[in-house]
Amino acid sequence: MQEHLFNGKPWPQYLRDLVTPFNLAAAVVIFAGLPFIVMRYALGLGAVTHASDDQPWGLFLSWGLFSGVPLASTGFLMASAVYLFGLKHYTPLLRPAVLTGFIGYFFAVVYLLVDLGMPWRLPYPMFKAFGTGSVMFLVAWHVALYLSTQFVEFCPAVFEWLGADRFRRWALRVTVGATIFGVILSTLHQSALGALFLLAPGKLHPLWYSPYLPLFFFVSSIFAGLSMVIVESTLVRRWLPHRMAPAHQRALDRLTLGLGKGAALVLITYFGLRCVGLAHGHHWGLLASTYGAWFLIELLGFVLLPCALFVLGVRRASATLVRTAALLTILGVLANRFTVSMFAFQWQLPHREFFPVKELLVVATIVTIEILVYRWIVNRLPVHTPHPRYPDPH
């Protein structure tokens, strides 16, 4: 137990080692936000948000669901690359990607619980609103099933940590099947998030409303996931180098360039699709408006520019440039999802209130907990470095 939970240290020493500037800052954020989470459940959603019938979605869903889910697509992308397409040289990035995806989906459910309240009714859209014609029915089932699938894919690392050889062998046998199932689910629910907005053609600004929204959401989740793998691996090598195997550190720049090639290809495809959507809607005149200026910034600054940076970085063999492009791409995904779900939604209302400081503190608290959970797992389980007993984790 001491080896597993306290990294082999006596618990007094372990507690002393927890006193770091980062942990102290995290504690301040958590203790500042926890009272507002309690307030949300005690007094209702209106106690911490500006949510209303006119503006139903605030920071909880714009950040936690609509932005968090595409960034959590890392698992199905890297599992597909390694298990289905045979790109075995990306194996060092597989477990980190699956872990990032699993934590991302888990906390997407946490945000839903905070936004919806009444956790005991979370299965309601899965059973009561039964029917394949219901988008909420599809999203609920897909997220629940995919979260379970990601857990199964990550189970070999858990069993290696626990020394459970028999269960590890069982988990490895079902990995390929779980990957195929996960790809099917991801394709459906990533696009289903975009399909939600097809139900509100008069509420979403015409520059962002399109019958191709499900396709836009799915394609953007691909380059979002690839960029997230690049950024996550970079942060681990910078801040937790002792948890990344030296061989993986040496190979990281080469793997980053490979991911950059894929991201550039998907980005230029997405740019073309967005242009087709704009032409299909015949909304060229709206580009001269304030919303049109933001649309161009989003499309040129957060899609075309990072695409060019990816290409330039790959051509110059510059992993630093590719990482810069990946960070810009993530910011672009966030900008698009916030725009669709919040800023361009109900755009004709005369008065807009987006989110108060209390809601921001709740989100900051959950994000901090998410980071701490990720770090706790990486510091213990064989994620970025193989377990000594299992040099070949697959």
DSSP class of residue 20 equals -
What pLDDT, on a 0 to 100 scale, did the predictor assign at position 132? Answer: 58
What pLDDT, on a 0 to 100 scale, did the predictor assign at position 284? Answer: 92
Give one word for 164, left, alpha or beta, with left for phi > 0 and alpha for psi -120 to 50: beta
What pLDDT, on a 0 to 100 scale, did the predictor assign at position 2? Answer: 52
> 78: exposed, middle or buried (C-beta count within 10 Å: 0-12, 13-18, 19+)?
buried
Closest CA relative to residue 299, chosen from 323, 279, 327, 270: 270
Domain boundaries defined on the chain: 2-378
* Distance, CA of 394 to CA of 389 (rounded, Å): 13
* Distance, CA of 9 to CA of 115 (rounded, Å): 39
Helix ranges (H only) for 242-281 are: 246-281
- Consecutive 10-residue runs of the chain (394 residues): their mean pLDDT? 65 82 95 94 88 81 93 95 94 96 94 84 71 69 87 93 90 91 87 89 93 96 98 95 93 97 98 95 93 97 98 97 98 96 90 86 96 94 86 62
What pLDDT, on a 0 to 100 scale, did the predictor assign at position 58? Answer: 84
Task: Enumerate residues 6+ apart whose C-beta is below 8 A from 223.
Answer: 262, 263, 266, 267, 270, 329, 333
What pLDDT, on a 0 to 100 scale, did the predictor assign at position 192? Answer: 86
0.95 exceeded by the pTM? Answer: no
DSSP class of residue 289 equals S
Q: Are 175 and 83 within 8 A, CB to CB? A: yes
State the virtual CA torsion across 71, 75, 78, 82 in degrees, nearest 10: 180
Residue 266 is which amino acid?
A: V
Locate tokens 């007993």: which residue?
389
